[in-house]
């Protein structure tokens, strides 16, 4: 037949599927694996961007925070050594070699510190809030987008590898 515009007063049922653009899809994973804790969320639940999804627990999170605190203290110490070597070198009290060694040690410690800081930020731990008495064995995962949860692979006690999809969300 030919195409024509008609008003339809009834609902029409049709089978099919719908594609969603990739920018409206998200797979939630952890950069460092961990044991999944319970979540109140189910497939079909609507969530907002930044909403809490689930907690993961792992001894590696403790070790990472310990390494960060050690690197922070070492960086502070090496900064004072480096500053002292600059002053001594300028006054010709120490050799240029000592100054260069202090600078090298400081820059190496700075790279280590910044790398650990970025790793902590990637797993949602604020480096500015880490204190020896506040080290935590768990991290929280949050929704990267608004949308509906289409898949939940969160079984309490299961170890989620970094390659495992824990939640799928579609907007």
Express each pLDDT in 29-77 by its tens digit.
999 999 999 888 999 999 999 999 999 999 999 999 999 999 999 999 9
Rounded to the nearest integer, the mean pLDDT of the chain is 92
More confident of the two residues 166 and 19: 166
What does the DSSP assignment read for 50-87? Answer: T-EEEEEE-HHHHHHHHHHHHHHHHHHHHHHHHHHHHH
- pLDDT, residue 125, reads 94
**Nearest 5°: CA angle at 126, between 124 and 129?**
145
More confident of the two residues 11 and 36: 36
Beta-sheet pairing, 25-28 with 167-170: antiparallel
> What's the distance, Cα to Cα, between the start and end of the chain in Å?
37
The answer to whether residues 54 and 30 touch, using CB atoms and an 8 Å cutoff, is no
The SS3 assignment for 138 reads strand
Q: Give per-residue burial for 65-83: e unless 16+ CB within 10 Å, then b.
A: bebbeebbebbeebeebbe
Percentage of the chain surpassing pLDDT 70? 100
Q: Out of 32-41, 81-90, 162-171, which region has the weakest mean confidence (pLDDT)? A: 81-90
pLDDT at 79 > cutoff 80: yes
The SS3 assignment for 43 reads coil
More confident of the two residues 73 and 1: 73
Average pLDDT over residues 111-138: 95
């Amino acid at each position: 037949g030919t195409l024509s515009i008609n008003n339809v007063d009834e609902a029409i049922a049709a089978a099919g599927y719908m594609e969603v653009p990739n920018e409206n899809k998200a797979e939630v994973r952890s950069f460092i694996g961990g044991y999944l804790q319970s979540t109140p969320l189910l497939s079909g639940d609507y969530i907002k961007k930044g909403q809490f999804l689930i907690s993961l627990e792992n001894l590696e999170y403790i070790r990472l925070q310990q390494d960060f605190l050690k690197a922070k203290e070492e960086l502070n110490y090496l900064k004072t050594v480096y500053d002292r070597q600059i002053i001594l070198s300028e006054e010709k009290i120490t050799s240029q070699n000592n100054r260069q060694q202090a600078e090298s040690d400081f820059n190496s410690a700075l790279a280590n510190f910044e790398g650990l800081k970025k790793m902590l930020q990637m797993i949602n731990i604020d480096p500015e809030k880490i204190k020896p008495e506040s080290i935590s064995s768990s991290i929280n995962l949050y929704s990267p987008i608004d949308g509906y949860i289409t898949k939940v692979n969160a079984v309490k006690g299961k170890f989620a590898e970094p390659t495992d999809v824990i939640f799928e969300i579609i907007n």
